[in-house]
Structure 1
């Protein structure tokens, strides 16, 4: 089986099998297409594996502590036997093993040579993919070579419906490290599926399951054939698994080629009674076109996407690879065709956070999609619109007006945050107190509309979202009559080390911004579309008096601030806490907890989990002076533990913006390689997908210096000495802009398809870009 792979900068490799690292590679070798994600498990399975296929938007609760993104039936299983002995990493000697993720084409390649107990050597090569051209299609190519024998080989290939989600943390004793093969055994397993239809014949297999609470039907069909040799295929059925068994009597040294074609549909796509028909019809289409054709069409779509979103760091191949790795995972995480699904904190690459959706989407991921995949960005924001009813129910349940978006969201918009940690020892308050999520959703609406120019979204959806969420803030704010100001008490900001705090600057300022932006958006609707404005007033019982009250309320919201030092106080009383120092860093250059302290015992100190005030400075850059941003970065950066993977990218960007260049490359590296080197120690649970978005922002908004000011792209770039250049592209209101940056020149190409010239700014100087014309701007020397 011959496949031409991309250049080295597109490849991520595993060069030997390690049981200890297997779950790590399962995560980073996830393949997908936004509709589904399949972890990079070995097709034959092994002890200690954490294999999974997830389907976007397919959630279920049943016997889990909170609702799960369901571990769906697996289309991956392929078991190869020689004289009845299974070829796998447990039962055979592994003579060589290598896997390569080709990010340019979205394919995972594998080569493994097994020597079984009889001394028989068999080489197995595979290539798997999920089609980006047709989201219902997946496939697996297999080649088998009996190196030193001509013994009977059997391939059993099918669909496994016996799937579970992990639920409870195992109660291992402190510092006890279980064997890789047994580390999942003490986890409780939640069942979410009931197999209701399974069939197999010599041509194909079909398995259909339904989620136990939500009633979503999932259908999968597969067909496995030998392409270059006559074989006999026999159907097999075991409990909740269906397979085809192909028996082969080979010649020594000859290579036998197989392909497994897969089709997947759910009742979220079509009526449940049509799923089996659709799956089998799709299988027939794959057979008619050929699996190679499907692979090629998928690779073509991959090339089209990379043509917009690729980033190249000249002079640093490893950094380029890392950035592409993060972009690859964002491209397979979101479905532009499904406005009812969003991106979980671990995308569709692992069990972490149960597939729940956080502020990660609007703050860390959405900028990437807005500037490179605007159709996907729109789908992500439509998800928030489609869960607005659930957000209204949250507000009503909590005694407030309007709509309160959940800290953790799943399929309905209702709050899904667990109340307790897995071990039952610590209460989780984020679902009740981390209310800034509602302002972050509004931030996403405003960003999407302003950066894409899709004002129709505001008219059709955004205005309603902004109105209802503004009503939440007005009802949640507390009026301090003595000082005639509005406050927010008992909240949690982005820094989750500090709970039950009052007047978190981030939350208060974002709520203030939210109310003003809603009023401004309605003013524009009134000016441009008075009839639509009247319709909005009627539909929501809104009055001009209520709109004006939002502005008046916003003006009186307390923002803790020390005018003498220009420091924003993270929350009321923060400056009175114990100013404990960070004095130790681990092997990944990450801060260590001070002696005797951990995540749950830093509430009385000034140490932060992640940026809070610095995050506010980043999201609202025009609201603060350069001096304020610099002073606050210097103060808070040295008190931050970076115990969230979201932290380093923001520190990279704000370090560059405030002139603290010495740490920018360090923070970029932490963010870009968080999963490739597992510097948080939990990549096995799934990708840190928000960090992937932060990494892209580090490149484009940090080193590239992109900001949007007054509706105009502006640039203030900076490059480290070790990089010779930077290349990236982005879409500005449907026009593609290509950028090449060196230490002396910034070159722009506005696509010839653009309909008009575009004015930008570089280091404060206006520059006019003409369609199809290359424009170069000389730069002042960068500060080292």
Structure 2
């Protein structure tokens, strides 16, 4: 665990340059606007350890699968969001000496991410070997108002000298991914020009043929006075263009460079229009200027915070953590493009290829449901609907028939592209998360029409898969499910994983309910779905009912707990506290063989199912399972702490709930798992939001209403969160004495508070004391 980020409620601050942490900082200070993003790299030439990262949403490459032993059914490729051309460079040479922050003495170094206003800055003094000292102050943003625009303000002040200086402003497309399986470069040059006043570079991905056009405009000021730029050197190299300016820096005078970049791709525009659109984006930037663009950015972020902030009084570390998580979620996905989804690292690194996992449905959907307009979450679901045919094809490759659908574990276009057998073939519980997301969306929004328009076809495909994936055991006289991997990836190829069985049973049951609803309310749509999916109602529904009624679930009668899978009790059951500290995390110290034979659990597995379906179980049942499994959980997945925090809150273990929340919220800021250098855990951030809203706030949907059973963490003075629910913006404020719920809508709303129905009038609030007495 690192602890070098200064605690602040609205900012992420690093004071002092730490080269050993530079990759971590590059991840932490990442920026994005939903369409493209980048790591917090230096603009200057930097010779230290670095992952230079720029990423374009939805632009990927099918890197050929690399495995030692090929198995039938393996995906042919692993999709990767590509490290894209870099437009951010500003290279400085003073009297021929390169400004390289890694090699020079840095004084008063500070990096700062302003989450409230949406920009990243750094400021430092650098001393050259000959004693020259220079002050650098830069501010960078990716506009969320015009999401094809990036801008940098870069100021240079010589403190004790005057000297001729070279400023190089490049666009570099000669980029490759660090994780390229065969050390390939994935971009080809199409067109470039450095001679124009607005130089540009167009590159294209190999195989997938996405095109990206980068164009730049820049201007120069000295102590606030604009400078004429009539002379510059044009540089053109392979996949690279630049302008070089030769200027005179005068002692104690500040020279400021404004660099704007248009970033447009063929995902959004015709190839023939890329240059034109890029020119329009730069014209927009020139007409506005940096200060106006920054003001627009601040206003747009203010609107986001007005609808989705969480405020904590009395605990700066906790406050900083949750706002950082919310900030990164809003940077990563805006919901404006139904073709896009959310990769586990967002725009912050290359690990996991930037592809879509089951994390979206299980951990991210609740955040976007509650903090955005319904269309944002709806687009996440439509993304899966549009990939239904690919899911059917994925299942067919594994031998399934009749429209059975297996959604991919990892994908960019709906096709499975994960090549580890225990994931690709066995971690099939992801199918259940997609079905549960449809249920969650409809339960939250009340949009039952979604079933007829999109959801039911997906549910039928998934249920068909589950019905074929089980087999009847003569020995058990039950249906069983063999050879699977549950959420606990420290167990592979197990039989009868309880969570996977639960998701299969629930999905078939929910699909039958959905069929009944659509048949009765929109019969014409039901007939369309029957025809399109070749659904044989009597045969398929009777089969699903038979399976659901006769599905085998492993259970320990002695302990009265659900067993994670068959044979779990054959393991040597020891708590995590028995593992020597120097052997943790076990995934970095133990052999895979040892991990698989141990009882230790990577993340919530049985408990994940109890979290989803808590209303089906008595509190005592949940507690027995929690007390049995949590002590054996090493929490070596970023998705673990949030679920345990919510469940601990439900069980009244407020201390553990807070501890789990804090580790989840500061997972990247404090580098808990020693992997923040690879990029942020963006999908975990949705779970962190859930820890507060569902955990401390106790928010659920019950009886078609919002329900709250909040408690106050001991360290806090108060906390508040905002919820969008069916056209109502609610602000829930909780302190030691009271719960206040503000209804900022023109219609009244009924809610459950401590299991009692309360009516909040339009543009009004209610106040209830923590002992449930109305005031």
Fold shared per TM-score above 0.5? yes
Shift of residue 337, structure 1, vs aligned partner: 1.8
The farther-off stretch of 196-205 and 726-735 is 196-205
Contact 1:582 1:592 in 2 (8 A): no
Q: 1:587 to 1:555 in 2, by over 3 A?
A: same
| Map of 1:200 onto structure 2 | 194
Deviations for 1:168-218, whole angstroms, at most 9, x for unmatched residues? 7xxxxxxxxxxxxxxxxxx96332111111111352220111110111111
- In the alignment, the residues of structure 1 paired with residue 46 and residue 65 of structure 2 have an alpha-carbon distance, to the nearest angstrom, of 25
Q: 1:594 to 1:97 in 2, by over 3 A?
A: closer
Shift of residue 293, structure 1, vs aligned partner: 2.1
| Map of 2:289 onto structure 1 | 290
Deviations for 1:419-449, whole angstroms, at most 9, x for unmatched residues? 3xxxxxxxx5111100000111111111112
- In the alignment, the residues of structure 2 paired with residue 318 and residue 536 of structure 1 have an alpha-carbon distance, to the nearest angstrom, of 51
Contact 1:585 1:592 in 2 (8 A): no
Shift of residue 664, structure 1, vs aligned partner: 1.4
Q: 1:459 to 1:158 in 2, by over 3 A?
A: farther
Q: 1:320 to 1:600 in 2, by over 3 A?
A: farther
In structure 2, the residue corresponding to 1:643 is in which secondary structure? Answer: coil
| Map of 1:762 onto structure 2 | 753
Deviations for 1:360-392, whole angstroms, at most 9, x for unmatched residues? 111111110111123322222222122222211
Q: 1:236 to 1:529 in 2, by over 3 A?
A: same
- In the alignment, the residues of structure 2 paired with residue 509 and residue 556 of structure 1 have an alpha-carbon distance, to the nearest angstrom, of 12
| Map of 1:668 onto structure 2 | 661
- In the alignment, the residues of structure 2 paired with residue 140 and residue 462 of structure 1 have an alpha-carbon distance, to the nearest angstrom, of 44
In structure 1, the residue corresponding to 2:9 is in which secondary structure? Answer: helix
Contact 1:497 1:600 in 2 (8 A): no
Q: 1:605 to 1:223 in 2, by over 3 A?
A: same
- In the alignment, the residues of structure 2 paired with residue 779 and residue 558 of structure 1 have an alpha-carbon distance, to the nearest angstrom, of 43
TM-score (norm 1): 0.92
- In the alignment, the residues of structure 1 paired with residue 669 and residue 578 of structure 2 have an alpha-carbon distance, to the nearest angstrom, of 23
| Map of 2:239 onto structure 1 | 240
| Map of 1:20 onto structure 2 | 20
- In the alignment, the residues of structure 1 paired with residue 584 and residue 751 of structure 2 have an alpha-carbon distance, to the nearest angstrom, of 39
Instruction: Describe how 1:612-627 pairs up with structure 2 within 5 A.
Output: 612-627=605-620
Question: Aligned to 2:482, which of 485, 489, 495?
Answer: 489
In structure 1, the residue corresponding to 2:339 is in which secondary structure? Answer: coil
- 1:97 corresponds to 2:96: no
| Map of 1:632 onto structure 2 | 625
- In the alignment, the residues of structure 1 paired with residue 30 and residue 83 of structure 2 have an alpha-carbon distance, to the nearest angstrom, of 14
- In the alignment, the residues of structure 2 paired with residue 167 and residue 144 of structure 1 have an alpha-carbon distance, to the nearest angstrom, of 35
- 1:229 corresponds to 2:230: no
- In the alignment, the residues of structure 2 paired with residue 286 and residue 705 of structure 1 have an alpha-carbon distance, to the nearest angstrom, of 45
In structure 2, the residue corresponding to 1:324 is in which secondary structure? Answer: helix
In structure 2, the residue corresponding to 1:768 is in which secondary structure? Answer: strand
| Map of 1:351 onto structure 2 | 350
Shift of residue 584, structure 1, vs aligned partner: 5.1
- In the alignment, the residues of structure 2 paired with residue 405 and residue 113 of structure 1 have an alpha-carbon distance, to the nearest angstrom, of 56
Q: 1:192 to 1:277 in 2, by over 3 A?
A: same
| Map of 1:723 onto structure 2 | 716
In structure 2, the residue corresponding to 1:720 is in which secondary structure? Answer: coil
- 1:535 corresponds to 2:528: yes
- In the alignment, the residues of structure 1 paired with residue 405 and residue 529 of structure 2 have an alpha-carbon distance, to the nearest angstrom, of 20
Contact 1:470 1:515 in 2 (8 A): yes
| Map of 2:55 onto structure 1 | 54
Q: 1:587 to 1:133 in 2, by over 3 A?
A: farther
Q: 1:246 to 1:751 in 2, by over 3 A?
A: same
The farther-off stretch of 368-377 and 224-233 is 224-233
- In the alignment, the residues of structure 1 paired with residue 242 and residue 537 of structure 2 have an alpha-carbon distance, to the nearest angstrom, of 65
Deviations for 1:489-545, whole angstroms, at most 9, x for unmatched residues? 000001111111111110000111111111111211122212212222122112331
| Map of 1:32 onto structure 2 | 32
Task: Provide the aligned length of Structure 1 versus Structure 2.
Answer: 748
Shift of residue 678, structure 1, vs aligned partner: 0.2
| Map of 2:69 onto structure 1 | none
Tell me the C-alpha RMSD between the 2 structures.
2.2
Q: 1:548 to 1:742 in 2, by over 3 A?
A: farther
Shift of residue 417, structure 1, vs aligned partner: 1.2
Q: 1:249 to 1:674 in 2, by over 3 A?
A: same
| Map of 1:409 onto structure 2 | 410
Instruction: Describe how 1:707-722 pairs up with structure 2 within 5 A.
Output: 707-722=700-715
Contact 2:408 2:415 in 1 (8 A): no
- 1:418 corresponds to 2:419: yes
- 1:732 corresponds to 2:733: no
Q: 1:594 to 1:449 in 2, by over 3 A?
A: closer
- In the alignment, the residues of structure 1 paired with residue 612 and residue 37 of structure 2 have an alpha-carbon distance, to the nearest angstrom, of 31
| Map of 2:166 onto structure 1 | 154
- In the alignment, the residues of structure 2 paired with residue 31 and residue 594 of structure 1 have an alpha-carbon distance, to the nearest angstrom, of 30
Stretches of structure 1 lacking an aligned partner (at least 5 in a row): 1-5, 169-186, 420-427
Shift of residue 95, structure 1, vs aligned partner: 2.4
Greater RCO (Cα-Cα under 8 Å, separation 6 or more)? 2
Shift of residue 351, structure 1, vs aligned partner: 1.1
| Map of 2:766 onto structure 1 | 775
TM-score (norm 2): 0.93
- In the alignment, the residues of structure 2 paired with residue 7 and residue 667 of structure 1 have an alpha-carbon distance, to the nearest angstrom, of 19
| Map of 2:577 onto structure 1 | 583
Shift of residue 27, structure 1, vs aligned partner: 0.4
Shift of residue 75, structure 1, vs aligned partner: 1.1
- In the alignment, the residues of structure 1 paired with residue 32 and residue 237 of structure 2 have an alpha-carbon distance, to the nearest angstrom, of 27
Deviations for 1:46-95, whole angstroms, at most 9, x for unmatched residues? 23210111111111024674221111111111101112221112342222
Instruction: Describe how 1:587-602 pairs up with structure 2 within 5 A.
Output: 592-593=585-586, 597-602=590-595
- In the alignment, the residues of structure 1 paired with residue 472 and residue 135 of structure 2 have an alpha-carbon distance, to the nearest angstrom, of 73
| Map of 1:325 onto structure 2 | 324
In structure 2, the residue corresponding to 1:486 is in which secondary structure? Answer: strand
Q: 1:63 to 1:435 in 2, by over 3 A?
A: closer
| Map of 1:699 onto structure 2 | 692
Q: 1:641 to 1:614 in 2, by over 3 A?
A: same
Contact 1:140 1:260 in 2 (8 A): yes
Deviations for 1:738-781, whole angstroms, at most 9, x for unmatched residues? 1001122111011223x3x3222122222122221110112239
- 1:468 corresponds to 2:461: yes
The farther-off stretch of 760-769 and 739-748 is 760-769
In structure 2, the residue corresponding to 1:165 is in which secondary structure? Answer: coil
In structure 2, the residue corresponding to 1:44 is in which secondary structure? Answer: coil
Contact 2:391 2:405 in 1 (8 A): yes
Q: 1:224 to 1:67 in 2, by over 3 A?
A: same
Question: Aligned to 1:511, which of 504, 511, 518?
Answer: 504
In structure 1, the residue corresponding to 2:259 is in which secondary structure? Answer: strand
The farther-off stretch of 444-453 and 430-439 is 444-453
Instruction: Describe how 1:169-188 pairs up with structure 2 within 5 A.
Output: none
Contact 1:743 1:781 in 2 (8 A): no
Contact 2:19 2:102 in 1 (8 A): no
- In the alignment, the residues of structure 1 paired with residue 275 and residue 594 of structure 2 have an alpha-carbon distance, to the nearest angstrom, of 54
Shift of residue 157, structure 1, vs aligned partner: 1.1
Question: Aligned to 1:571, which of 549, 565, 568?
Answer: 565
- In the alignment, the residues of structure 2 paired with residue 593 and residue 697 of structure 1 have an alpha-carbon distance, to the nearest angstrom, of 27
Q: 1:224 to 1:585 in 2, by over 3 A?
A: farther
- In the alignment, the residues of structure 1 paired with residue 584 and residue 104 of structure 2 have an alpha-carbon distance, to the nearest angstrom, of 42
- In the alignment, the residues of structure 2 paired with residue 472 and residue 11 of structure 1 have an alpha-carbon distance, to the nearest angstrom, of 47
Question: Aligned to 1:68, which of 41, 61, 80?
Answer: 80
Q: 1:190 to 1:366 in 2, by over 3 A?
A: farther
Shift of residue 484, structure 1, vs aligned partner: 4.0
| Map of 1:395 onto structure 2 | 395
| Map of 1:275 onto structure 2 | 274
In structure 1, the residue corresponding to 2:603 is in which secondary structure? Answer: coil
- In the alignment, the residues of structure 1 paired with residue 298 and residue 447 of structure 2 have an alpha-carbon distance, to the nearest angstrom, of 29
